A and B are shown apart, each in its own frame.
Chain A
Amino acid sequence: MAARIQIPREAMRGDVIEVRILIQHPMETGYRHDDVGRLIKRNVINVLSCRYGGVEVFRADLSSGISANPYVQFYTVAEASGDLEFTWIDDEGQQGSEHQSIVVKG
């Protein structure tokens, strides 16, 4: 599962930073049928979590109402240099993760 993360490379301590993530996933709703009429099983990313320096700063429970290739954006406060680590898991148990580091000055 490919993903893209966008955060500033550098920030001043106390800055509010924008965090964006785009994950490639079909987010199969469970309501669709295939070409021969069989129901396609629901398979969505159900949990997306972000840890910053080991502390969870964001968590979302996604469901079938979220479109394919979900894009999530939130804000957090730059406290210390470190990694923002994203992890997610879908209904089939497939896990994904991606991380990016930030340098905090001041």
Chain B
Amino acid sequence: MRRARALLALAAAALAAGAVLAQERAIAPGELKSGSAFLGSDLRALQNDDFANPGMLWVERGEKLWREPAGKKSLACAGCHKDRSMRGVAARYPRIDSASGRLLNLEGRINRCRTERMGAEPLRYESEELLALTAYLARQSLGLPVASSIDGAARSHFEAGRTSYHLRRGQMNLSCAHCHDAQWGKRLLSETVSQGHPNAYPAYRMEWQTMGSLERRLRACLSGIRAEMLPYGSPDYLDLELYLAWRAQGLTIETPGVRR
């Protein structure tokens, strides 16, 4: 009897855990849609055209930069990452840097390599060079599932990111969840509200007429809800980026995406 009760309790606990997990995922796995699903057929075709996709200009530039020596040590990225394929690497970011224990996105990883290994200046956020290198790296994970880990040291960042995602902000008093969990697929003036996934960034956005990072996109959202925009590379963005990557598990990398 006692054992049966214990089993029952265990089953109840498992059910509760399952329910919590299900609650965590506001969008059911079957309903998960990449941003490209909310585009018109013309932009989707542009994204899928390896030649005409304007983001490929940055990917090509990134490939050149990858082989170009830089910094005091006159080292190129390709000097260390010689024969190792970078396929799959971008899909795991943001992730904890094992040396410093800090959370890094791909941009942060590139700059850490530059400052620590190459003796070079870090590249400015949204600079053509950083966008090019990030796009080149992410492109190599094309079609691979988003796979960042939220275990271990990443857990607290994930929790912070989740809190940030659900935090009401700005004059409109909206959180990310109000649009991207609760209202996706509906119209916002001429736009269709997307699910807010990061899997196509850096992406070429028509509104910008150029390439931009995920953080630039986050800032655009914050500006849209009349909230304070944080500086590029701020830890709050990193936490949010990790939460977004977890939310997008089940989608594949599309960089360079084309977006409205």
Q: Residues of A at under 8 Å CB distance from B?
A: 2, 4, 6, 20, 22, 24, 26-27, 67-69, 71
| Measured CA separation A68–B212 after assembly (Å) | 14
Question: Which one of B7-15, B52-60, B220-228 is at the interface?
Answer: B52-60
B210 beta carbon closer than 8 Å to chain A: yes
Contact A22 B60 (CB under 8 A): no
B217 beta carbon closer than 8 Å to chain A: no
Given A2-B60, A2-B61, A4-B60, A22 and B209 contact (CB-CB distance below 8 Å): no
Given A67-B209, A68-B210, A24 and B57 contact (CB-CB distance below 8 Å): yes
Q: Residues of B at under 8 Å CB distance from A?
A: 51-52, 54, 56-57, 60-61, 206, 209-210
Contact B54 A22 (CB under 8 A): yes
A20 / chain B contacts, CB cutoff of 8 Å = 51-52
A69 / chain B contacts, CB cutoff of 8 Å = 54, 57, 209-210
7 pairs of A and B residues whose beta carbons are closest in the complex: A68-B209, A69-B54, A24-B57, A6-B51, A71-B52, A2-B57, A20-B51
Contact B210 A22 (CB under 8 A): no
A22 / chain B contacts, CB cutoff of 8 Å = 51-52, 54, 56-57
B52 / chain A contacts, CB cutoff of 8 Å = 20, 22, 71
Residue of B nearest to A67 (CB): B209
Residue of A nearest to B46 (CB): A71
